[in-house]
Amino acid sequence: MPNPRRPHRRASARSSLKVAFFTDDYFSFVTLTSTGYGDVFPVHPVARSLCNLETILGQLYPATLLARLVSLEIEGRR
């Protein structure tokens, strides 16, 4: 219930853009790390598919990077 002593202030476009950007970054980070808290989730089927792709890439990138670093270290020891 709104406080009658305090006038209602509408969020500016800039502040709502900041919130949307933070939510997008937060959701992307949670998806990439496959944490999946469940507080923000995609509704549209295309968005769900893109999130699945982002989760797979989020797991493959560190694995590929680590494999490359290990192979470079092994080559350097020879």
Residue 27: name the closest of 62, 58, 66 by CA: 58
Q: Which pLDDT does position 12 carry in this prediction?
A: 54
C-alpha 31 chain-centroid distance: 5
Q: Which pLDDT does position 66 carry in this prediction?
A: 97
Q: Which pLDDT does position 38 carry in this prediction?
A: 78
Return the domain boundaries, the chain: 13-77
pTM over 0.85: no
Over its length of 78 residues, how does the chain's per-residue pLDDT go in tens digits? Answer: 555 555 445 555 556 666 676 788 888 888 888 777 778 888 888 988 988 898 898 889 999 999 999 999 999 988
CATH fold for the domain made of 13-77: Helix Hairpins (1.10.287)
Residues 6+ apart with CB under 8 A from 59: 34
Residue 35: name the closest of 61, 54, 63 by CA: 54
- CA-to-CA separations, 53 to 11, 21, 34, 38, 39, in angstroms, rounded: 33, 20, 11, 17, 19
